[in-house]
């Protein structure tokens, strides 16, 4: 069976991680991998997570299976986090949520669900998007197409081209939109642009799949779901994939969720049986620990407040690094304007650096960024920002 198997090239980002690890340069800087790092370069366990885990260690009574759609408490808590209390979708029972292994698991179940209920539907993703979107949907047998998103000349959103492309998408297809902190560009639509996008998506009878992987990492827990709420106020049906990897720092616990929004409550109940079926056929039921942590935090007033503070600390550190990188490059009289970096949201930035410039940084300074020019702003800290700015200044000469 395996004698003539073709080798598949590994993930470019993982290869970058390995190259970074093997680089003996003591001043090397990792701007590649998409995890939050604090000012000392560590991806910390949040203090509030430690508290929740201590509570669980004392109080957990069983390791029994939790069922295909996971913790029954998690769904309502995540719905309220995204929609706010007493949202009509909640009071009208038009939303149902299944716990999944991370945001990736949610995307895969969403792909399986699309394939099960409307095999003709294609999914449209932004160009560029998180590269795994292609793998996940192709793996689920859903055809993936792209719509324009990035305007390289302006380092901004190509809103006109994007709207024009959405106008051409056939009715009933699915369109994936990043709720906030667009990966990889860091460029989010403004409120006015979200209004335009939502109106058009509804007009075209498309089903939005809202990938909500960074709630709280952009401008705030409420601000980061403006687009999500606007889309849901206009579109009768939707899918939402949630990741708790970044905002709870629970990357390796694999905790996320898939929410289904339907026009009527009875559609929701019926369609949710399809979600459960997709999960059973895939991994039977999800791991319990991450959901238990998130549920413990979100259902306790003091823990929730502590979480919001720790999340705000992460968000503000990223924003501070954006601002400091811009002013540090300005103070070196760089021959390029980088002010757009301070306007972008979340961990990632399309820096505008070319592939050659990225490779120069790697070869001469041990600075590791993705060849597209994407940098993880959370990899910058007070210790390395001076060197990084000098290096960029040289690379673009």
End-to-end CA gap in the chain: 53
User: Of 101-109, 163-171, 224-232, 264-272, which part binds ligand PMP (CB under 6 A)?
Assistant: 101-109
Task: Please identify, using beta-carbon distances, which residue of 290 and 366 lies nearer to ligand PMP.
Answer: 290
Give the list of residues 6+ apart from residue 397 with CB closer than 8 angstroms, or none. Answer: 335
Task: Please identify, using beta-carbon distances, which residue of 243 and 306 lies nearer to ligand PMP.
Answer: 243
Nearest residue to ligand PMP, by Cβ distance, number only: 102
CB of 161 to ligand PMP, least distance (A): 21
CB of 251 to ligand PMP, least distance (A): 6
Using CB under 6 A as the binding rule, whether residue 362 contacts ligand PMP is answered as no
User: Of 66-74, 102-110, 163-171, 320-328, which part binds ligand PMP (CB under 6 A)?
Assistant: 102-110
Q: Is 50 a catalytic residue?
A: no
CB of 212 to ligand PMP, least distance (A): 8
Q: How many C-beta atoms surround the C-beta of residue 308 within 10 A? A: 16
Q: Is 21 a catalytic residue?
A: no
Q: Which of 30, 112, 173, 211 binds ligand PMP (CB under 6 A)?
A: 211
Using CB under 6 A as the binding rule, whether residue 102 contacts ligand PMP is answered as yes
Using CB under 6 A as the binding rule, whether residue 286 contacts ligand PMP is answered as no
Task: List binders of ligand PMP among 108-167 (CB under 6 A).
Answer: 130
CB of 147 to ligand PMP, least distance (A): 16
CB of 243 to ligand PMP, least distance (A): 3
Catalytic entry in 130, 173, 188, 307: 130
Catalytic entry in 173, 211, 307, 345: 211
Using CB under 6 A as the binding rule, whether residue 243 contacts ligand PMP is answered as yes
Q: Which of 66, 165, 213, 297 binds ligand PMP (CB under 6 A)?
A: 213
Q: Can you tell me the distance from the alpha carbon of 34 to that of 189, in angstroms, rounded to the nearest whole number?
A: 21
3-state secondary structure the chain: CCCCCCCCCCCHHHHHHHHHHHCCCCCCEECCCCCCCCCCCCCCCCHHHHHHHHHHHHHCCCCCCCCCCCCCCHHHHHHHHHHCCCCHHHHCCCEEEEEECHHHHHHHHHHHHHHHHCCCCCEEEEECCCCHHHHHHHHCCCCEEEEECEECCCCEECHHHHHHHHHHCCCCCEEEEECCCCCCCCCCCCHHHHHHHHHHHHHCCCEEEEEECCCCCCCCCCHHHHHHHHHHHHCCCEEEEEECCCCCCCHHHCCEEEEEECCCHHHHHHHHHHHHHHHHHHCCCCCCHHHHHHHHHHCCHHHHHHHHHHHHHHHHHHHHHHHHHHHHHHHCCCCCCCCHHHHCCCCEEECCCCHHHHHHHHHHHCEECCCCCEEEHHHCCCCCHHHHHHHHHHHCC
Chain centroid, CA 217 distance in Å: 10
Count the residues of the shown chain that bind ligand PMP, applying the rule CB under 6 A.
12
Tell me the CA distances in angstroms from 6 to 3, 28, 137, 360, one per residue in order: 9, 34, 22, 32
Q: Which of 16, 20, 34, 391 binds ligand PMP (CB under 6 A)?
A: 34
Q: Can you tell me the distance from the alpha carbon of 23 to that of 366, in angstroms, rounded to the nearest whole number?
A: 7
Task: List binders of ligand PMP among 180-199 (CB under 6 A).
Answer: 183
Using CB under 6 A as the binding rule, whether residue 97 contacts ligand PMP is answered as no
User: Of 20-28, 97-105, 280-288, 381-389, which part binds ligand PMP (CB under 6 A)?
Assistant: 97-105
Task: Please identify, using beta-carbon distances, which residue of 216 and 366 lies nearer to ligand PMP.
Answer: 216
Q: Which of 216, 218, 249, 256 binds ligand PMP (CB under 6 A)?
A: 256
Q: Is 130 a catalytic residue?
A: yes
User: Of 71-79, 89-97, 100-108, 332-340, which part binds ligand PMP (CB under 6 A)?
Assistant: 100-108
Task: Please identify, using beta-carbon distances, which residue of 255 and 326 lies nearer to ligand PMP.
Answer: 255
Task: Please identify, using beta-carbon distances, which residue of 173 and 211 lies nearer to ligand PMP.
Answer: 211
- Please report, as ranges, the residues that interact with ligand PMP according to CB under 6 A: 34, 102-104, 130, 178, 183, 211, 213, 243, 245, 256
| Catalytic positions, written as ranges | 130, 211, 246
């Amino acid at each position: 069976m395996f004698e003539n198997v073709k080798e598949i090239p590994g993930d470019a980002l993982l290869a970058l991680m390995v190259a970074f690890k093997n680089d003996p340069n003591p001043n090397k800087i990792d701007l590649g991998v998409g995890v939050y790092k604090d000012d000392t370069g560590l991806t910390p366990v949040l203090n509030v997570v430690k508290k929740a885990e201590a509570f669980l260690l004392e109080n957990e009574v069983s390791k029994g299976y939790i069922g295909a759609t996971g913790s029954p408490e998690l769904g309502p808590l995540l719905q309220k986090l995204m929609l706010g209390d007493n949202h009509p979708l909640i009071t009208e029972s038009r939303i149902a949520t299944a716990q999944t292994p991370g945001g990736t698991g949610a995307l895969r179940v969403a792909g399986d669900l699309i394939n099960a209920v409307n095999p003709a539907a294609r999914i449209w993703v932004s160009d560029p998007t998180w590269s795994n979107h292609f793998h996940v949907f192709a793996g689920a047998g859903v055809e993936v197409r792209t719509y324009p998103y990035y305007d390289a000349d302006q380092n901004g959103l190509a809103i006109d081209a994007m709207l024009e492309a959405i106008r051409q998408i056939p009715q009933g297809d699915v369109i994936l939109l990043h709720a906030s902190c667009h990966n990889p560009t860091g460029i989010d639509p403004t409120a006015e642009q979200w209004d335009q996008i939502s109106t058009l998506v509804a007009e075209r009878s498309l089903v939005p799949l809202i990938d909500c992987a960074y709630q709280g990492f952009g401008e705030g827990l409420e601000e980061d779901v403006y687009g999500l709420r606007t889309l849901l106020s206009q579109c009768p049906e939707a899918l939402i994939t949630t990741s708790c990897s970044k905002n709870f720092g629970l990357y390796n616990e694999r905790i996320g969720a898939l929410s289904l929004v339907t026009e009527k409550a009875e559609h929701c109940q019926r369609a949710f049986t399809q979600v459960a079926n997709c999960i059973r056929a895939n991994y039977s039921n999800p791991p319990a620990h991450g959901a238990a942590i998130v549920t413990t935090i979100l259902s306790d007033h003091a823990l929730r407040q502590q979480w919001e503070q720790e999340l705000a600390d992460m968000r503000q550190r990223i924003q501070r690094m954006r601002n400091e990188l811009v002013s540090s490059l300005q103070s070196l009289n760089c021959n390029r304007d980088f002010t757009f970096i301070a306007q972008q949201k979340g961990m990632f930035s399309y820096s505008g650096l070319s592939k050659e410039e990225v490779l120069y940084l790697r070869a001469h300074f041990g600075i590791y960024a993705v060849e597209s020019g994407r940098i993880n702003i959370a990899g910058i800290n007070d210790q390395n920002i001076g060197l990084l700015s000098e290096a960029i200044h040289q690379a673009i000469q």
